[in-house]
Structure 1
Amino acid sequence: MRSTTTSQQSLHRRTFLRGTLAGAAAGSALLTGCGWSGTGSGRTTIRFVQNKPEVLAYFDKLIADFNASQSEVLVEHDSTSVPLVPQFVRGAPPDLACYNYNNDASIFVARGGLSDLSGLPAAQRIDPGVQDLVGQYAQYKSQTSVLPYSVTAAGVIYNKDLFDKAGVAIPQTWSDLLQACQAFQERDIVPIVQTFKELWTISLGLFDYVSGGALDVTRFFARLKDLGPDAGPGAEVSFSKDFRDAVEKMLALLKYTNRDAASRSYADGNLAFAQGKAAMYFQGPWAIGEIAKINPKARLGTFALPATDDPDDAKVRVNLDLALWIPNASSKRDAALAFLEYLMRPEVMDAYNAENLAWSPTRNAPRVKDERIAGLQPYVDSARFYQGASTYFPRGIPLENYLQGLVLGRDAEGFLTKVDADWARYAQRNA
């Protein structure tokens, strides 16, 4: 625990920086007196890691604006793809990260390697339903080590013109979905474009969408984790038991997919959908931007995939596309906090999310205005969402390879058996 003197100094520095960022005048001598380490220019330089390719230029602009707004902190943008684990091992992690948060990133939370941010005003503004997504992967004591920054909601992208042409309404149930697919086929319209050449599109799309709508993914993995080394095909919770319905439904949709799905890539899928060659596409909002580049006039919408015959079971897949965290090993925590608080300003964060077809994670966040994703707003409002089942798998289990084998070979039993066996070995090794 820090001494009272150190705590008071830290509070003094943070208060000072907030005043600086709000436009208050202050001298650099105050920072020097508080023990700040800086560059020759008198600034404290921090390394900020953000490597999401689509928004590198956007963050470059945010960093430039921040650096120009004050004279105490200098942010350097590290957009390299150097793995984070070696950086932590070497004791040289970034000072602040704005990174996709998933099961891989949660290792830093589980081991207590990140600063507790629970006392920040920004942390109090986060919607509890969104903050809970962080804890679904890992939790360290009662800390809030990660602050969600951008939530992407993924549903079925659909071509409004083709739906109108076929007289098909947005499906509300699994039966509705099958009937819609049949109606499209009767009119020689490909119901669903799939891209099985790229493994991630199978896991994020078909597998996550159907399983997320067919069962409670969060509860399943929580129960599976509780089993520990007792996990396996004969356990009370298993993929063979709980995922069978979802896997069979995945296979049922294959007859409504483009025949060349095995050789089509993500780029091929975007092109085909932009050209109006299919009615539905199992992709996230990132694909919408790519489709718009090809066909700006495409009339698109998004709906939650129904995987049961109860409309209330429908949910959308969400992803903490970006989240903020500060490693304990950073020696420039207060400077990192200053930039974090700048990024979390509503006018900064809300503008980013609106620009990138995402949702801000805060209470009373603004509703999305883009009609292409507005159909998912009710699900976000009511927290009817889930993190994809594929995101819970450790890297040691080649789930995506198994999924490609599943959609090409259509052996549900073989797929479920392999996943159960691999998870059991993983659980035993980590007991």
Structure 2
Amino acid sequence: MRSRTAMRSRTVSQHSLSRRGLLRLGGALAGAAAGGALLAGYASSDDRRTTIRFLQNKPEAIPYFDELIEDFHRAQSEVYVVHDSTPAALTPQFARGAPPDLGCYNYNLETSNFLARGELSDLGRLPEARRIDAEVQDLVGQYAQYKSETSVLPYSITAAGVIYNKDLFEKAGVAIPRTWTELLKACKTFKARGIVPVLQTYKEPWTLSQGLFDYVSGSALDVAGFFTRLKELGPKAGPGAEVSFGKNFKDAVEKMLVLASYTNADAPSRTYYDGNVAFAHGKAAMYLQGPWAIGEIEKINPKARLGTFALPATEDPKDVKVRVNLDLALWIPHASSKPNAATAFLRYLMRPEVMDAYNAKHLAWSPTRNAPAIRDERVAGIQPYVDASRFYQGAGTYFPGAIPLGNYLQELLIGGNADAFLRKLDDDWARYAQRSL
């Protein structure tokens, strides 16, 4: 699943793009957008370009960004972009003082650490920043904030729900569930008909964290509010605190175990790839995966009739939300010696016709106000939740790497001990808080 391509390289001399050059470039790109014209009056030789390193390592999008980079090169002659698609971690790059000039990266807890320390440039002055929907920009601040700066610009939002097989739903006469009770009733109906209700893949822990754990907890409690209160406790966090996993997540975890009882018997030995293959061949009615799995399923079975709905872990449909993550976000480190050139490419990427086309291609949403709706029927079922800002970032994304959430989830689902699972989370978080918060 996580195959990578090597970083492309090319030898060019590196000059800093002037502010005047940036203004000329912005005007030329606007002209190119309107009439398809290339920049005029610039030397064509590479030795006049400023080279920047662009880090984007989302595997399925590497070829797509390669094409965008070539389009950018044809549209101007001041900036040359090297697409770094290597899987190297960000922290060592920042520690060496050699981060990428422009990142287009999944925004997560690791990235937020650089924001919190003030290592990312303030992009709030850009007109592109003012186009971002405020509800989406708030997702950035749920992890961290630095002063009042806008240092990370959302680029692509993925909204993840329950992928379902329309043929099996129609065959069993099951409607899309809107409440927890309706979801369990659907599971019982499928099971009675010899159909696996929910496909699970325990062998790869990340599928449990972003799937079962995030989906159920997201409708069962206020995820962002919980972690905000938990962080405020600092070193006082622990099993006996006023806010804890044992107290606040107990209902959600018990529901996870109930839903897990309707999964495939071989779940502990199945990988993400195995899950995609099985679901493509109609081996289960529902699959707790995001839109990234739909493309993989389509490769295996182009005729599969799929849809997506938000998992309801509540009895009130108005409380149901959909899990989202900032699948890609843009940022420029202060350590970059070529911020103007990096800004020029950032502004190109954020042109509506570029950003919206990328997101439509990858079954994702653009983060701007009045962004076009997704029309693909396979994910259109969660469009209303995005429109109404009824979304949340998964609980699993708030955990630091020091807490092996995925492994604990494997133990939970195989052993079924909810109290032991919650106690481990509280104990581990307490140790993390004493060291870091």
Query: What TM-score range do you get, normalising by the shorter chain?
Result: over 0.9
SS at match of 1:324: strand
Calculate the TM-score normalised by the size of structure 2: 0.93
Provide the rounded CA distance (Å) in 2 between the counterparts of 1:12 and 1:385.
41
- Return 5+ residue gaps in structure 2 as ranges: 1-16, 33-38
Aligned residue in 1 for 2:4: none
For residues 274-330 of structure 1, the C-alpha deviation after alignment (integer angstroms, 9 at most, x for no partner) is 111100000000110111111111110000000010111111110100000000011
Aligned residue in 1 for 2:12: none
Calculate the TM-score normalised by the size of structure 1: 0.94
Letter in 2 for 1:16: R
Which among 407, 427, 432 is matched to residue 426 of structure 1? Answer: 432
Matched, 1:395 2:401: yes
For residues 155-207 of structure 1, the C-alpha deviation after alignment (integer angstroms, 9 at most, x for no partner) is 00001111111111000000000000001111111100100011111111001
SS at match of 1:320: strand
Aligned residue in 1 for 2:421: 415
Aligned residue in 2 for 1:91: 97
Change beyond 3 A, Cα 1:139–1:377: same
Matched, 1:19 2:18: no
8 Å Cα contact 2:25-2:76 kept in structure 1: no
Deviation of 1:213 after TM superposition, in Å, equals 1.1
Matched, 1:366 2:372: yes
For residues 328-353 of structure 1, the C-alpha deviation after alignment (integer angstroms, 9 at most, x for no partner) is 01111011010000000000000000
Which among 259, 268, 275 is matched to residue 262 of structure 1? Answer: 268
Provide the rounded CA distance (Å) in 2 between the counterparts of 1:64 and 1:28.
17
SS at match of 1:139: coil
Provide the rounded CA distance (Å) in 1 between the counterparts of 2:330 and 2:122.
12
Deviation of 1:13 after TM superposition, in Å, equals 3.9
Aligned residue in 2 for 1:188: 194
Q: Which moved more, 1:239-248 or 1:289-298?
A: 289-298
Deviation of 1:43 after TM superposition, in Å, equals 0.8
Which among 342, 346, 359 is matched to residue 348 of structure 2? Answer: 342
Change beyond 3 A, Cα 1:40–1:156: closer
SS at match of 2:48: coil
Matched, 1:352 2:358: yes
Deviation of 1:15 after TM superposition, in Å, equals 1.9
Provide the rounded CA distance (Å) in 2 between the counterparts of 1:351 and 1:251.
40
**Aligned ranges 1:114-125 → 2 under 5 Å:** 114-125=120-131
Provide the rounded CA distance (Å) in 2 between the counterparts of 1:411 and 1:173.
25
Which among 327, 330, 333 is matched to residue 336 of structure 2? Answer: 330
Matched, 1:56 2:62: yes
For residues 91-141 of structure 1, the C-alpha deviation after alignment (integer angstroms, 9 at most, x for no partner) is 111110100001111111000000000010100110011100000001000
Provide the rounded CA distance (Å) in 2 between the counterparts of 1:393 and 1:254.
22
Equivalenced residue count is 414
Letter in 2 for 1:218: A
Aligned residue in 2 for 1:34: none
Provide the rounded CA distance (Å) in 1 between the counterparts of 2:215 and 2:318.
15
Aligned residue in 1 for 2:168: 162
Letter in 1 for 2:273: A
SS at match of 1:370: coil
Letter in 1 for 2:259: L
Deviation of 1:16 after TM superposition, in Å, equals 2.0
Which among 282, 285, 309 is matched to residue 279 of structure 1? Answer: 285
Letter in 1 for 2:25: L
Deviation of 1:23 after TM superposition, in Å, equals 3.5
Aligned residue in 2 for 1:176: 182
Cα RMSD (Å) of the superposition? 1.4
8 Å Cα contact 2:307-2:378 kept in structure 1: yes
SS at match of 1:404: helix
SS at match of 1:41: helix
8 Å Cα contact 2:104-2:328 kept in structure 1: yes
Provide the rounded CA distance (Å) in 1 between the counterparts of 2:161 and 2:94.
35
Aligned residue in 2 for 1:5: none
How many percent identity over aligned positions? 72
For residues 32-57 of structure 1, the C-alpha deviation after alignment (integer angstroms, 9 at most, x for no partner) is xxxxxxx9611111111111110100
Letter in 1 for 2:20: H
Deviation of 1:28 after TM superposition, in Å, equals 5.3
Provide the rounded CA distance (Å) in 1 between the counterparts of 2:141 and 2:18.
28
Provide the rounded CA distance (Å) in 1 between the counterparts of 2:40 and 2:150.
31
Which among 81, 84, 100 is matched to residue 78 of structure 1? Answer: 84
Matched, 1:224 2:230: yes
Change beyond 3 A, Cα 1:132–1:10: farther
Provide the rounded CA distance (Å) in 1 between the counterparts of 2:87 and 2:19.
34
Provide the rounded CA distance (Å) in 1 between the counterparts of 2:118 and 2:261.
47
Matched, 1:313 2:319: yes
Letter in 1 for 2:281: Q
Deviation of 1:11 after TM superposition, in Å, equals 5.0
Change beyond 3 A, Cα 1:344–1:397: same
Letter in 2 for 1:299: R
Provide the rounded CA distance (Å) in 2 between the counterparts of 1:411 and 1:361.
39
Letter in 2 for 1:115: S
Provide the rounded CA distance (Å) in 1 between the counterparts of 2:322 and 2:142.
16
Change beyond 3 A, Cα 1:370–1:393: same
For residues 344-374 of structure 1, the C-alpha deviation after alignment (integer angstroms, 9 at most, x for no partner) is 0000000000000000000000000100000
Deviation of 1:21 after TM superposition, in Å, equals 1.7
Aligned residue in 1 for 2:303: 297
Which among 234, 239, 243 is matched to residue 237 of structure 1? Answer: 243
Provide the rounded CA distance (Å) in 1 between the counterparts of 2:63 and 2:162.
28
Deviation of 1:14 after TM superposition, in Å, equals 3.1
Provide the rounded CA distance (Å) in 2 between the counterparts of 1:155 and 1:299.
16
Provide the rounded CA distance (Å) in 2 between the counterparts of 1:104 and 1:210.
24
Provide the rounded CA distance (Å) in 2 between the counterparts of 1:263 and 1:89.
38
